[in-house]
């Protein structure tokens, strides 16, 4: 019943994913959420995020940031990490995910979405036919509407962890 919300894989954080392995699996494009996936809510790109995107790009993987946030926020972050971007994406609408693949020249088979929320990030990507990785939120301080969504996510994540679909992606670091 809740399987539409189940990610394909789960990782402690974006920074625990082995992107070399992702490239070896044939992934050519990565779509990322920003807030609490790459940095804290509203924070600029930090050195860790900049290094991560340099590593990803050195592997020949293209990137697009997909955010429900305003253009000012998303454009600034995208410039810092040298990535394409889509703002006011209205996730979980499929339009932004499809547009992101168009920007990267990828398709559903070689694109992966990485985000921290089930009801926007994962659900939208799954509705678009894109594989997903749910990452743990980086910081606990969030807007009230996100806090409320996290409360609703908990029982679904509990079911997911007990299901045959559960897969971890951590590289162990």
Does a structural domain hold residue 127? yes
Residue 41 is part of which domain span? 3-162
Does a structural domain hold residue 70? yes
Q: What is the pLDDT of residues 38-91, one digit of tens each?
A: 998 889 999 999 999 999 999 999 999 999 999 999 999 999 999 999 999 999
Does a structural domain hold residue 86? yes
pTM for the model:
0.85
- Give me the CATH number covering residue 28: 3.40.50.1000
Does a structural domain hold residue 171? no
Can you give the pLDDT at residue 144? 64
CA distances (Å), origin 156, targets 28, 109, 149, 164:
30, 26, 11, 14
CA distance 141 to 5: 23
Can you give the pLDDT at residue 91? 94
Q: What is the pLDDT of residues 117-144, one digit of tens each?
A: 888 899 999 999 999 999 988 666 666 6
Is residue 101 within 8 Å of residue 112, measured between CB atoms? Answer: no
Does a structural domain hold residue 172? no
Does a structural domain hold residue 170? no
Does a structural domain hold residue 68? yes
Does a structural domain hold residue 46? yes
Write the CB contacts of 121 (distance below 8 Å, at least 6 apart in sequence).
33, 37, 91, 92, 113, 115, 132, 134
Q: What percent of the chain has pLDDT above 70?
A: 84
CA distance 46 to 4: 33
- Tell me the average pLDDT across 142-152: 66
Domain count of the fold of the chain: 1
């Amino acid at each position: 019943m809740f399987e539409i919300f189940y990610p394909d894989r789960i990782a402690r954080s974006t920074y625990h994913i082995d992107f070399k392995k992702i490239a070896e699996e044939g992934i050519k494009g990565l779509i990322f959420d920003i807030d609490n996936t790459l940095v804290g809510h509203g924070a600029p790109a930090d050195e860790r995020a900049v290094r991560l995107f340099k590593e990803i790009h050195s592997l020949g993987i293209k990137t697009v940031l997909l955010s429900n946030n305003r253009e000012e926020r998303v454009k600034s972050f995208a410039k810092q990490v040298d990535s394409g971007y889509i703002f006011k994406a209205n996730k979980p609408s499929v339009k932004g995910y499809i547009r992101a693949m168009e920007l990267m020249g990828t398709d559903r088979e070689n694109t992966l979405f990485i985000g921290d929320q089930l009801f926007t990030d994962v659900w939208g990507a799954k509705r678009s036919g894109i594989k997903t990785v749910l990452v743990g939120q980086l910081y606990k301080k969030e807007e009230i509407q996100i806090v409320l969504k996290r409360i609703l996510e908990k029982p679904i994540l509990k079911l997911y962890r007990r299901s045959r679909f559960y897969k971890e992606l951590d590289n162990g670091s």
